[in-house]
Amino acid sequence: MSSNEDNETPANGTDERPTDFIRQIVAQDVRDGRYGGRVHTRFPPEPNGYVHIGHAMGILLAYGIAQDFGGKFNLRFDDTNPAKEKQEFVDGIIRDIRWLGVDWEDRLFYASDYFDQLYEWAEDLIRKGKAYVCDLSPEEMSAYRGTAVRKGDHVVTPPGKNSPYRDRSVEENLDLFRRMRAGEFPDGSKTLRAKIDMAHPNLNMRDPVMYRIVRATHHRTGDAWCIYPTYDWTHGQSDAIEGITHSTCSLEFENHRPLYDWFLEALGVHHPRQIEYGRLNLTHSVMSKRKLVQLVEEGHVDGWDDPRMPTVCGLRRRGYTPEAIRSFIEGTGVTKAEGTVELAFLEYCLRQDLNLRAPRAMAVLDPLRVVLTNYPEGREEELEAINNPEDASAGTRKVPFSRVLYIEREDFMEDPPRRFYRLAPGREVRLRYAYFITCTEVVKDEAGRIVELRCTYDSQTRGGDAPDGRRVKATLHWVSAAHALDAEVRLYEPLFSVENPLSVGPNEDWLDRLNPNSLTVLPDCKLEPGLSSARPGDRYQFERKGYFCVDLDSTAEHPIFNRTVTLRDTWAKIKKQQASRREDS
């Protein structure tokens, strides 16, 4: 059973692969002999959370460039904020990136590896008169720096004001900085700042902070340090130490590039090239790590790997494949502008992959009991079912059949409307791989709810075909009641009920846009018995229902399956509608 209504839909919804402007830049640098023709990239996550699908774009971009040009790739943790970082996040990020298929070989690094070198370089800038110790509080520093002001269609940045501590002597600054390191001053009482230009139009260049006093235990260095470098001071210098040639990052760091360049030029060290690209956003999701932390800490989701989260670990737990995510990233392309991609396109990429690889199984999520009154009591037989019609090598399996079955409750209507072709009183339908059956009686409980159907079967239609050539309009999936595996199934929908959860008014809260129906738990599902051997992470197509994955909490005593994605291909419909509108115009 194919999962897609339109298998001809191009991977990115267009006729061409998106242009990757960064690869064009790197290719030109190689041709020009820049950096001796070397290509060396890195991905530098901060271990204060788990990576999400937006990060996956950055990871696969940097790794792919290194592979395409025969270069090297580093994984480096920019671990400069001990108050928010944990070894748990380091381990989780490593696990997620490996799962995506990225291999950094022996090039795993940490910014904390360079704390001594960064400190020495900071003293070097002090000696050059390019850094000073400042006693301003964060609030005072912000006021001195100034803010951007909109005037009509333009944004202007009036000059800031120099810190009263800016003209301390080199000797005094060195003494104070060393005493900061020795722990003589309270947290937040002093900072080391670069001396650049308080009138610079880019606020990032107005004497940025390089070090702050923070007494917090670091997950790697323990309590060896009580001063920690800022991201801006650490990032470029770590790139330089590692010999990185092309430092790719999201567009939010474009205004930081002049500072990145200034630090490297002031130190006179190896100078990588920073290139920015537009961040990847996804409809019905949030990509802000701060927002994701809030969702986790306030209990709106069941942890970072909740299958509704856009985190890589959440997508993996839901049943996504690394191949589908790579296909999605490739189909999305890399551009200079930020954009939002339809969740439907991600699901399309997943269906394309799972349709080829996922074995089929029959599962009844809302069971309705069916008794075949003319089927011999005590008799059982095995029927042959196809494992994957898209993969002949997947072979077949045996499924048990008996007198009492389960079908989906929605597959029967006592008084069916027009164009309802499934089971109804007096109507004949096909049971997949089995027999034709006809409903002869409906059994209800005292409340009038249907609890059982009594049907007859045609023994001449084994395998699902009638020897006399008669045809039926519906084929239903089913499970033998005597052999059924009892399981819990979790149905997931988008976490947010609107495409852009953050587009809220001044009196609105983005959390009000959480989808109250994002998770439905079905505790009494009936699955074909072969699924009893399924293990966490195994993926299947439940015929006519969608793609499902065995959850990490699943046990032999209590199997749990997560719905990864439905069979309905929303993206194909979107592309058809777009094509129709283009034709009409």
What pLDDT does 16 receive? Answer: 41
Tens digit of each residue's pLDDT (9 = 90 or more) over 18-70: 458 999 999 999 999 999 999 999 999 999 999 999 999 999 999 999 999 99
What pLDDT does 465 receive? Answer: 87
Is residue 177 within 8 A of residue 123, CB to CB? The reply is yes
Tens digit of each residue's pLDDT (9 = 90 or more) over 137-190: 999 999 999 988 877 777 788 999 999 999 999 999 999 999 999 999 999 999
Least confident of 2-6, 122-126, 401-405, 443-447: 2-6
- Those residues whose C-beta lies under 8 Å from the C-beta of residue 457, and which sit 6 or more positions away, are 372, 374, 375, 435, 436, 437
What is the distance between the alpha carbons of residues 273 and 32, in angstroms, rounded to a whole number? 14
What pLDDT does 6 receive? Answer: 37
The pLDDT of residue 554 is above 70? yes
3-state secondary structure of 346: helix
pTM value is 0.90
State the pLDDT confidence band at 568, using cuts at 50, 70 and 90.
confident
What pLDDT does 13 receive? Answer: 39
What pLDDT does 330 receive? Answer: 93
Q: Averaged over 359-380, what is the pLDDT?
A: 97
Is residue 547 within 8 A of residue 3, CB to CB? The reply is yes
Tens digit of each residue's pLDDT (9 = 90 or more) over 378-426: 999 999 999 999 999 999 999 999 999 999 999 999 999 988 999 999 9
User: Is the torsion defined by CA of 315, 321, 324, 325 positive or negative?
Assistant: positive
Cα-Cα-Cα-Cα torsion 226, 227, 231, 233, nearest 10 degrees, comes to: -150
What pLDDT does 337 receive? Answer: 85
- How crowded is residue 9: how many other Cβ atoms within 10 Å of its Cβ? 20
Q: Where do we find the tokens 């990757």? A: 20
What is the distance between the alpha carbons of residues 224 and 119, in angstroms, rounded to a whole number? 13
The pLDDT of residue 4 is above 80? no
**Segment holding 349, helix H or strand E:** helix 343-357
- Phi, psi angle pair for 140, to nearest 5°: -65, -40
228 forms bridges with which residues in the sheet?
212
The first and second tokens of residue 455, run together, are 């049907």
Q: Which of 375, 413, 544, 526 has the alpha carbon at shortest distance from 476? A: 544
Catalytic residues: 46, 279, 289
State the pLDDT confidence band at 584, using cuts at 50, 70 and 90.
low
Q: Averaged over 321-335, what is the pLDDT?
A: 94
- Phi, psi angle pair for 290, to nearest 5°: -60, -40
The letter for the amino acid at 584 is D
Q: Looking at residue 538, what DSSP letter applies?
A: -
Q: Which of 348, 357, 350, 358 has the alpha carbon at shortest distance from 324? A: 350
Q: Where do we find the tokens 């910014």? A: 111
The first and second tokens of residue 317, run together, are 């737990």
**Segment holding 23, helix H or strand E:** helix 21-32
The first and second tokens of residue 287, run together, are 């990509």
What is the distance between the alpha carbons of residues 50 and 46, in angstroms, rounded to a whole number? 9
- How crowded is residue 11: how many other Cβ atoms within 10 Å of its Cβ? 16
What pLDDT does 460 receive? Answer: 95
What pLDDT does 5 receive? Answer: 36
**Segment holding 570, helix H or strand E:** helix 570-584
The first and second tokens of residue 352, run together, are 């394309």
- Those residues whose C-beta lies under 8 Å from the C-beta of residue 454, and which sit 6 or more positions away, are 370, 371, 373, 439, 440, 441, 442, 443
3-state secondary structure of 160: coil
Tens digit of each residue's pLDDT (9 = 90 or more) over 261-282: 999 999 999 999 999 999 999 9
State the pLDDT confidence band at 572, using cuts at 50, 70 and 90.
low
What is the distance between the alpha carbons of residues 46 and 86, in angstroms, rounded to a whole number? 10
What pLDDT does 583 receive? Answer: 63
Q: Averaged over 424-435, what is the pLDDT?
A: 97
Distance of CA 65 to the CA centre of its chain: 21
Counting residues of the chain whose pLDDT is more than 70, the rounded percentage is 94
Sheet with 560-565: strands ordered across: 360-361, 539-542, 546-550, 560-565, 485-492, 519-527, 363-364
- Those residues whose C-beta lies under 8 Å from the C-beta of residue 108, and which sit 6 or more positions away, are 74, 75, 76, 94
DSSP string, 386-421: ES-TT-GGG-EEEEEEESEEEEEGGGB-SSPPTT--
Q: Which of 76, 67, 71 has the alpha carbon at shortest distance from 36? A: 71
The pLDDT of residue 3 is above 50? no
What is the distance between the alpha carbons of residues 430 and 455, in angstroms, rounded to a whole number? 12
Sheet with 404-408: strands ordered across: 475-476, 428-431, 436-444, 450-458, 367-372, 404-408, 479-480
- Those residues whose C-beta lies under 8 Å from the C-beta of residue 105, and which sit 6 or more positions away, are none
Is residue 565 within 8 A of residue 546, CB to CB? The reply is yes
Q: What is the mean pLDDT of the chain?
A: 93
Q: Averaged over 445-458, what is the pLDDT?
A: 97
Where helices occur in 186-321 by DSSP H, the ranges are 231-242, 257-267, 289-297, 312-318
